[in-house]
A = this chain, B = another copy of it.
Amino acid sequence: MSALMRPYGDTTGDGMVQLSFTLPMPHGKKAEGAAQQLARKMGIEPAMVVHAKPIGPSFTFFVVYGSVSHLVDLDEVKVVEREYPLLSPKETNLAIRTLLRRRMVVVGACIGTDAHTVGIDAILNIKGFAGEKGLEYYREIKVVNLGAQVSVPDLLAAARAEQADAVLVSQVVTQREAHLRNTRELATAFRQEWAEGEGPVLVVGGPRFDEAMAGELGVDRVFAKGTTPADVASYLVHALAARRGVDPTAPAPAAEELQEEPA
């Protein structure tokens, strides 16, 4: 696989893509020309405006097919690859015991007006996600799930009261970038409460986040669609260990205890 590539329609290198959009103007040749212009500005050349349909008197919907001239350069693709080893529940429990010598406390919530709890529940509830059990199932994790539409002050209060090791926040609604706004507001309040590197690990997640945005958003880690509980548990172990400057997977002091693990 070369580092440079183009989209594939039916022949290597043909660069073919499909595009659809609406322009706020009446249907007609002018509108088709405008659609063509937009496609060209996007790098589609030649662009075939294969469908143009009026939506009422002042909008037109278009479908465009054509070859895009841009090259994808794989060497420049920046991906948040998993920066920690993926642990089984057994290993996580063991690592927590080694690391903290007590249970890890995780406080979760949907903040703002967001009431989509299915995602955070998938991570926290025993039921879990994609065949994996959620964090409640981990003997060494205490989960406090505050549910939906929790305000930032309430969340911080709970985190303090529970002496949380980690705060997990879900944001699903993205209209007008609600998820980004709410996350930034949370991060600001968090940093007023705890200095950088102190306080609980701050994690946000939701289907439309870009995992590369953690720094920009002021949180420790972002998880996007398809996240599983083990991803999160493993990350938390890793993050807490890093704060303490230790290797969480070093041989445990009480390895014989492994026998009685349910997981």
Contacts and interface: CB of A to CB of B under 8 A. Distances in A.
Interface of A: 1, 5, 7-9, 12, 16-25, 29-30, 32-34, 36-38, 41-44, 46, 48, 50, 58-59, 68, 70, 72-74, 76-81, 174, 208, 210
Given A19-B19, A30-B79, A42-B68, 8 more contacts: A1-B25, A5-B24, A7-B22, A8-B22, A9-B22, A17-B19, A34-B74, A38-B72
Contact of A79 (B29, B43, B44, B210): B29
18 contacts: A1-B24, A1-B25, A1-B58, A5-B23, A5-B24, A7-B22, A8-B21, A18-B20, A19-B19, A19-B20, A23-B72, A29-B80, A30-B74, A30-B77, A30-B79, A33-B79, A41-B70, A42-B43
Query: How many of these chains are in the complex?
Result: 2
Chain A at the B interface: SS class: mixed
B78 A33 contact: yes
A14 to B, nearest CB: 9
